[in-house]
């Protein structure tokens, strides 16, 4: 497909376990973003990748959260030692770039994470 | 700091009525971008429109129109002759040129169109 894809669509895990969420951006898009959507916090920015530059991690809520982007394409968001407050929908977005005219972000369907 | 306020939490209208969703933003940047996204029950955020801070021209796309007014820091969205398929949560978002290029979202407005 031509859009942003994410997997899994749903994930149920036990408190304390690690989880990995995957995002496949639109082909040719150099910028990739992770957001989290939860009832109490709305839509929050987590981390941003642009090309080969170091990621901007300013939105990560704790050091249990990390992300990587291999080959400038697919990204994995990892949550270690999950807590119940990590339960949310994790959304990935990509854009052609960050310059004027390139900055529109297109979102994937999200991964719904439930920590029991 | 960037902030987006959508004061209307929920709106219900009867089909064919017009409805306006309000969005007020705050930023110290002189160059910024404003967006509207639709989130239907399926959950995926669908891009609707992008506006840059230098273009205050209103835009119309079919039944959708947007009114951008820098003087009041508002970017309101009107749906004309609403339809049941318009039922969704609508988010207004701001992206400034400073920082991580991320979007700052409002809390969303849930629109229900009653047949």
Chain A CB contacts of B42 below 8 Å: 109
Q: What integer pLDDT is reported at residue B36 of this predicted model?
A: 97
Which residue numbers of A have CB closer than 8 Å to B's CBs?
31, 33, 35, 42-43, 45, 48, 50, 56, 58-59, 89, 91, 93, 98, 100, 103-110, 112
CA atoms lying within 13 Å on the CB side of residue B19: 23
Q: What integer pLDDT is reported at residue B3 of this predicted model?
A: 94
CB-CB contact of A26 with A94 (8 Å): yes
Q: Flag if A58 and B47 touch (Cβ within 8 Å).
A: no
Distances (CA, A) of A91 to A19, A59, B109: 15, 14, 19
Q: What integer pLDDT is reported at residue A98 of this predicted model?
A: 82
pLDDT tens across the length of chain A (116 residues): 589 999 999 999 999 999 999 999 999 999 999 999 998 778 999 999 998 888 999 999 999 999 999 887 999 999 999 999 999 999 999 999 888 788 899 999 999 999 99
pLDDT tens across the length of chain B (115 residues): 899 999 999 999 999 999 999 999 999 998 899 999 999 998 899 999 999 998 888 888 899 999 999 999 999 999 999 999 999 999 999 998 777 788 999 999 999 999 9
The separation between the first and the last C-alpha atoms of chain A, rounded to the nearest angstrom, is: 33
Residue that has been written with the tokens 């409805």 in this structure? B19
Q: What integer pLDDT is reported at residue A92 of this predicted model?
A: 97
Give the whole-angstrom CA distance, residue A79 versus residue A24.
Answer: 18
Of B45, B52, B100, the CB nearest to A56: B100
Chain B CB contacts of A90 below 8 Å: none
Q: What integer pLDDT is reported at residue A1 of this predicted model?
A: 54
């Amino acid at each position: 497909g031509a859009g942003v894809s994410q997997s899994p669509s749903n994930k149920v895990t036990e408190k304390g376990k690690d989880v990995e969420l995957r995002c496949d951006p639109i082909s040719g898009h150099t910028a990739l973003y992770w957001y989290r959507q939860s009832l109490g916090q709305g839509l929050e920015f987590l981390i941003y990748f642009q090309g080969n530059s170091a990621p901007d991690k300013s939105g990560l809520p704790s050091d249990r959260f990390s992300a990587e982007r291999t080959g400038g394409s697919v990204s994995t968001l990892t949550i270690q030692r999950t807590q119940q407050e990590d339960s949310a929908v994790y959304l990935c977005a990509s854009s052609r770039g960050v310059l004027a005219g390139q900055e529109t972000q297109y979102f994937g369907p999200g991964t719904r994470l439930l920590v029991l | 700091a960037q902030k987006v306020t959508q004061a209307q939490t929920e709106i219900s209208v009867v089909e064919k009525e017009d409805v306006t969703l309000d969005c007020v933003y705050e930023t110290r940047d002189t160059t910024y971008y404003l967006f509207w996204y639709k989130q239907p029950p399926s959950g995926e955020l669908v891009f609707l429109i992008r506006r840059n801070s230098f273009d205050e021209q209103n835009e119309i796309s079919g039944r959708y129109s947007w009114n951008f007014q820098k003087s009041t820091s508002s970017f309101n969205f009107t749906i004309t002759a609403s339809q049941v398929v318009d039922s969704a949560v609508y988010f207004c978002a701001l992206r400034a040129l400073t920082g991580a290029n991320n979007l700052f979202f409002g809390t969303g407005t849930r629109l229900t169109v009653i047949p």
